[in-house]
Chains A and B, each alone.
Chain A
Amino acid sequence: MKILNLIKKYGTLIGFFGIIIFFTINLPSTFLTAKNFINISQQISMLAVVAFTMTVVMVMNDFDLSVGSMASLAGIVAAVLFSMGYPIWIGILAALFVGIIGGLFNGFLVSIIGILPFVATLGTLTMFSGFAFLISGGRTIFGRDIPSEFSSFARSGIEISSLGLKIPFLSILALLILFIVWFILEQTTYGRRLYAIGGNTEASFLAGIKVKQLRLSAFALTGVGAAIAGLMYSSRVASSNPTQGSGLMLEAIAAVFLGMTMSEEGEPRVLYTLLGVLILGVLDNGLTQMNVDSYIREVLVGFIVILAVAFSSITKKRN
């Protein structure tokens, strides 16, 4: 009975370790190495940032479908400014500003106008994508237009010479964002109020919580997260493309859902979101190394997400 409870509570975590053991057995010399795990941490860093900040709105039972387009737009804004000769810090600040404005606009549509988040952010998804195409003229901005100092950020890291390893700056940045989101959600009144809104919006309102303002600000945080991810992506590929972030949104939502299976109340928790991101990243890395067809990989990842969420849903219903 205790074992059954353990599986119910930690099923996703056990599944994650099961995946690690499976790949370790099948890829004995290349999977369970520090170098590979550092690689994975770098590969998932952009998805992680989007997923962590997506958790902020999902805490309130909201969604932001525009994060991928915002990541593309922010990258394009920075790259266009670079190509016009502006310094790197101006490009970065402008991209972050676009993220805040875009996020606030989403929040305005959802909390002030009262449009369903799904519909509002579906609309802004198209708008942001259109702006990215408009500003870039549909072009990929690359080569001399992207300053080498900007692109070298994604290729650099902190060297640990004694171990012969390098911790990439992208991974460190993702960890920093994780800490900030964890602190905001778990350690502040602001975060607890967001959870309260997710629990019962009306009761929160009646209890004096400024629901509209909080929802507005939460969407702004998600917008900034998407913009940071867009900048990370542009740095990693030393270029900006108006469609570069389009794959991030669905995976970020999947990661939050996977994480939610760990929570007893079924609430999003950012540390559990990290687990969701890790599962997706490890699956991608391990299945690639095992030469599994990329389309089969896609089916497997989708299946695992459904399996985890279904298992969690069934066990919670029984409880």
Chain B
Amino acid sequence: MKSCIKFISFTLLFLSMFVSKAWAEKVTVITPYLAQPGTQMYVEGFKNEASKKGWDLNIIDTKGDVAEVISRIEDAVNQKVDGIVINVDPSQIAAGLEVAAAANIPVVGMDSGADPLLVTNVTSNGYAMAAETSVYVANRIEGKGNVVMFVFDAFPPVQIRGVIADAVFGNFPDINVMDRITPDVQDGGIADSRAKMEALLAANPEAGSIAAVWAAWDQPAIGAMQAIEAAGRSNEGIVIVGIDANPQARDAISQGGNFEASIAQDFVGIGSATANAIGRAMSGEEIKSKVIYVPTVLITSANVGN
């Protein structure tokens, strides 16, 4: 009798698992940038929210290949998923978005850029982040001196940061952007930025010849900081700022050295807000706003410990 009850309960358990899996809504997240710490945190936030909602989640990393994002969207549409989330410039994957639209599958962008084929895009305000950090630099150097910029125009969310910083620095007649560097990001962005900064320091050996380093994300700022320390020029007061406030940047800021500020995006918050947005879209709700901004915070030595 006991074994009979055991058998029935196991069968029921198995069936309930199978049924819940079969009924679970299928959501596919596709990104070419899963190796990036920020993307990993978006995905973490998304996963947490998805597990609460009981979704059957598939996360796909195309390892930098944008055309493969289109292919994987086509596969997901074929698979008849309920919703798709992308983390790549939507204008480059219009072919895939059109396939999803034809199949009436909602697609939400996770820090991807706005597009008419997306239900909405959940992101931080890149313009505001670049404005806040570049104005911080301009104020700290009292509106004069040579500034080194680290940019990456190939990736639209980072490209807009550079555009804003250009405008801010251009508005100060005594600020001179002495170099606008695009580092090689294949090694993560630190090593090549450090090498480029070392070359600039060697070319400008006089104290005070470089007033500040503005970086469109944290890794080049860290590379620049390492170059300045290695050159023994930490006490010249070169101001360094980054964007993203990753753990390494926070650690540097907390030490009160040249790396003075960064801006914290709420990556996990973007992930969970994206999950909420796709959930609403899958339930048939019309999302009117084409962009949903998640708030950011300027991190300095004053609040880095919070």
Contacts from A to B (Cβ < 8 Å):
27, 30, 33, 35-36, 39, 42-43, 46, 133, 136-140, 142-143, 151, 154-155, 233, 236-239, 241-244, 246-247, 284-285, 288-289, 291, 293-295
| Chain B residue with Cβ nearest A240 | B92
Q: Is the CB of B59 within 8 A of A244?
A: no
Q: Does B170 count as interface, using CB distance less than 8 angstroms?
A: no
Contacts A140-B154, A237-B67: A289 and B95 contacting too (C-beta < 8 A)? no
Q: 13 A-B Cβ contacts within 8 A?
A: A30-B80, A33-B78, A137-B153, A137-B182, A138-B154, A139-B159, A239-B91, A241-B92, A243-B64, A247-B65, A288-B75, A289-B75, A289-B78
Q: Is the CB of B95 within 8 A of A155?
A: yes
Q: Does B41 count as interface, using CB distance less than 8 angstroms?
A: no
| Chain B residue with Cβ nearest A281 | B71
Contacts A139-B154, A140-B155: A295 and B61 contacting too (C-beta < 8 A)? yes
Complex Cα gap A285–B76 (Å): 9
Contacts A143-B91, A238-B95, A295-B61: A233 and B78 contacting too (C-beta < 8 A)? no
- Taking CB atoms, residues of chain A closer than 8 Å to B70 are 43, 236-237
Q: Is the CB of A142 within 8 A of B58?
A: no
| Chain A residue with Cβ nearest B156 | A140
Of A35, A143, A155, A294, which contacts B98 at CB under 8 A?
A: A155
Complex Cα gap A42–B156 (Å): 27
Q: Is the CB of B95 within 8 A of A236?
A: yes
Q: Does B234 count as interface, using CB distance less than 8 angstroms?
A: no
Complex Cα gap A247–B72 (Å): 16
Q: Is the CB of A39 within 8 A of B74?
A: yes
A25 CB, nearest partner CB in chain B, Å = 16
Q: Does B94 count as interface, using CB distance less than 8 angstroms?
A: yes
Complex Cα gap A94–B95 (Å): 25
Query: Of A133, A142, A236, which is in contact with the most chain B CB atoms at under 10 Å from its CB?
Result: A236
- Taking CB atoms, residues of chain A closer than 8 Å to B62 are 294
Contacts A139-B159, A241-B66: A291 and B71 contacting too (C-beta < 8 A)? no
Query: Of B56, B59, B89, B95, which is in contact with the most chain A CB atoms at under 10 Å from its CB?
Result: B95
Complex Cα gap A161–B71 (Å): 23
Of B67, B74, B79, B159, which contacts A46 at CB under 8 A?
A: B67
Q: Is the CB of A139 within 8 A of B67?
A: no
- Taking CB atoms, residues of chain A closer than 8 Å to B159 are 139
Complex Cα gap A289–B56 (Å): 12
Interface string of B144-170 (1 = CB under 8 A from A): 000000001111100100000000000
Complex Cα gap A35–B94 (Å): 19
Count A/B pairs, Cβ under 8 Å: 98
Q: Does B93 count as interface, using CB distance less than 8 angstroms?
A: yes
Of B56, B67, B79, B80, which contacts A233 at CB under 8 A?
A: B67
Q: Is the CB of B66 within 8 A of A244?
A: yes
Q: Is the CB of B65 within 8 A of A30?
A: no
Q: Is the CB of B91 within 8 A of A142?
A: yes
Q: Does B294 count as interface, using CB distance less than 8 angstroms?
A: no
Q: Is the CB of A237 within 8 A of B61?
A: no
Q: Is the CB of A43 within 8 A of B74?
A: yes
- Taking CB atoms, residues of chain B closer than 8 Å to A288 are 58, 60, 72, 75-76, 79
| Chain B residue with Cβ nearest A291 | B58
Of B68, B75, B94, B155, which contacts A238 at CB under 8 A?
A: B94
Q: Is the CB of B98 within 8 A of A140?
A: no
Complex Cα gap A209–B63 (Å): 43
- Taking CB atoms, residues of chain B closer than 8 Å to A154 are 95
Query: Of B64, B71, B92, B94, which is in contact with the most chain A CB atoms at under 10 Å from its CB?
Result: B92
Of B56, B61, B64, B94, which contacts A151 at CB under 8 A?
A: B94
Complex Cα gap A69–B58 (Å): 31
- Taking CB atoms, residues of chain A closer than 8 Å to B59 are 293-294
- Taking CB atoms, residues of chain B closer than 8 Å to A244 are 66-67
- Taking CB atoms, residues of chain B closer than 8 Å to A246 are 64
Q: Is the CB of B89 within 8 A of A140?
A: yes
| Chain B residue with Cβ nearest A35 | B78
Complex Cα gap A294–B34 (Å): 11
- Taking CB atoms, residues of chain A closer than 8 Å to B155 are 140
Complex Cα gap A182–B154 (Å): 38
- Taking CB atoms, residues of chain B closer than 8 Å to A46 are 67
Complex Cα gap A99–B64 (Å): 23
Complex Cα gap A27–B56 (Å): 16
Complex Cα gap A46–B70 (Å): 13
Complex Cα gap A70–B2 (Å): 70
- Taking CB atoms, residues of chain A closer than 8 Å to B76 are 288
Within B89-147, the residues touching A (CB, 8 Å) are 89, 91-95, 98
